[in-house]
């Protein structure tokens, strides 16, 4: 006997796919900008959150905001260039929140603008150290404790695959490296039930872009952003929550541009 269309559709089960109830998310770089929005987005979707960055006072502000949403939160001073710090952030999450289901590798720096022939080696090294190496140390630590059903979301950039017509070799290389890291870890960990994806943000109003003048931002929007505006950090957070959730259970190894169409042009 055939069932009517939709008879066995469970709307509650469907809605639960988009939730993170009972999960624990680790978010790096949650002392400002996109990391704050991501931590709050994870909490609003039901996850407890462990946050890491270097500025402890700012991290505590994020912790309080997460707690106001009714979720547990621990703030762990973390420099992602230091492997022991990365390990400690993940261990603290396991010890105090019970598990790690989600890692968002968001900590990053834009670096300075140097022509390649003038770029100080230490500058290039540092930009790669924070953006790429830091993401790998965090992924290693999380990958050791994550159970099947877990997810890593790496914050890359549209500059991984295009240019801003400003010299940013270290940043572009590091963010492109994150896409390679995403693919490799996704392939390595697929059978362990751990998904690994990346987000490529376009332009968002944070400390990283605070030096953009209104005039530069206007020109950027006119020339490069088909949707006609810069992004809202919550639009990165919602994408991170989606990729971390069971709604994205069959998505791994991809990079999602959240850029208002920058990559179309």
Residues with a catalytic annotation lie at 157, 171, 175
Judge whether 249 and 218 are in contact, CB under 8 Å.
Answer: no
Compute the distance between CA of residue 57 and CA of residue 247 in angstroms, rounded to an integer.
Answer: 34
Q: Specify the residue, 55 or 68, whose C-beta has the smaller distance to ligand NDP.
A: 55
Kindly give, in sequence order, each residue whose CB lies less than 8 Å from that of residue 97, ignoring residues fewer than 6 positions away.
24, 48, 50, 72, 74
Neighbours of 57 (CB within 10 A): 8
Phi/psi at 90 (5° precision): -70, -40
Which CB, 90 or 107, lies closer to ligand NDP?
Answer: 107
Q: Of residues 18, 72, 81, 164, which one binds ligand NDP by CB under 6 A?
A: 81
Residues, the chain: 265
41 binds ligand NDP (CB under 6 A): no
Sign of torsion, CA 64 69 70 76?
A: negative
Contacts of 61 (CB under 8 A, 6+ apart): 31
Q: How many CB atoms lie within 10 A of CB 265?
A: 9
- C-alpha distances (whole Å) from 202 to each of 34, 211, 220, 262 are 12, 16, 11, 7
Please say which residue, 77 or 253, places its beta carbon nearer to ligand NDP.
77
For the bound state, the minimum distance from the C-beta of residue 21 to ligand NDP, rounded and expressed in Å, comes to 26
92 contributes a contact to ligand NDP by CB under 6 A: no
Total binding residues toward ligand NDP, as defined by CB under 6 A:
29
Parallel, antiparallel, or unpaired: how do β-strands 102-105 and 194-201 relate?
A: unpaired
Report the site for ligand NDP in 176-235 (rule: CB under 6 A): 201, 203-204, 206-209
Within positions 138 to 177, which residues make up the interface with ligand NDP, using CB under 6 A? 155, 157
Instruction: Identify the residue whose tokens are 């006997």.
Output: 1
Cα separation, 251 vs 90, in Å, equals: 24
Minimum distance from residue 239 beta carbon to ligand NDP (Å): 12
50 near ligand NDP, rule: CB under 6 A: no
Establish if 93 lies at the interface with ligand NDP (CB under 6 A): no
**Applying CB under 6 A, does 109 fall inside the site for ligand NDP?**
yes
Determine if 135 is a binding residue for ligand NDP (CB under 6 A): no
Which of 46, 108 has the CB closer to ligand NDP?
108
Nearest CB to ligand NDP, comparing residues 206 and 245: 206
Q: Judged by CB under 6 A, which of 50, 53, 102, 185 binds ligand NDP?
A: 53
H/E stretch holding 145 reads helix 134-145
Candidate ranges 25-33, 116-124, 180-188, 243-251; the one touching ligand NDP (CB under 6 A): 25-33
> Which stretches of the chain bind ligand NDP, using CB under 6 A?
28-29, 31-35, 53-55, 58, 78-81, 106-109, 130, 155, 157, 201, 203-204, 206-209
């Amino acid at each position: 006997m055939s069932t009517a269309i939709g008879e066995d559709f469970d709307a509650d089960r469907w809605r639960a796919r988009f939730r993170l109830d009972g999960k624990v998310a680790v978010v790096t770089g949650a002392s400002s900008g996109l990391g704050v929005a991501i931590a709050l987005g994870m909490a609003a979707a039901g996850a407890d959150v462990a946050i890491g960055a270097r500025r402890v006072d700012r991290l505590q502000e994020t912790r309080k905001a997460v707690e106001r949403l009714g979720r547990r939160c621990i703030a762990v001073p973390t420099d992602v260039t230091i492997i022991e710090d990365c390990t400690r952030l993940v261990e603290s999450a396991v010890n105090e929140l019970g598990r790690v289901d989600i890692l968002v590798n968001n900590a990053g720096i834009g670096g300075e603008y140097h022509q390649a022939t003038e770029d100080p080696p230490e500058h290039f090294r540092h930009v790669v150290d924070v953006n790429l190496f830091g993401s790998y140390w965090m992924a290693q630590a999380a990958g050791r404790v994550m159970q099947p059903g877990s997810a890593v979301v790496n914050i890359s950039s549209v500059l991984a695959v295009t240019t801003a017509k400003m010299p940013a070799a270290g940043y572009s290389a590091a963010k492109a490296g994150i896409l390679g890291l995403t693919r490799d870890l996704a392939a390595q960990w697929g059978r362990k039930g751990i998904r690994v994806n990346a987000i490529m943000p376009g332009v968002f109003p944070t400390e990283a872009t605070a030096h953009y003048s209104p005039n530069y931002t206007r020109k950027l929007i006119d020339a490069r952003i088909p949707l006609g505006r810069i992004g809202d950090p919550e639009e990165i957070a919602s994408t991170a929550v989606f990729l971390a959730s069971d709604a994205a259970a069959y998505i791994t190894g991809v990079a999602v541009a959240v850029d208002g169409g920058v990559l179309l042009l």
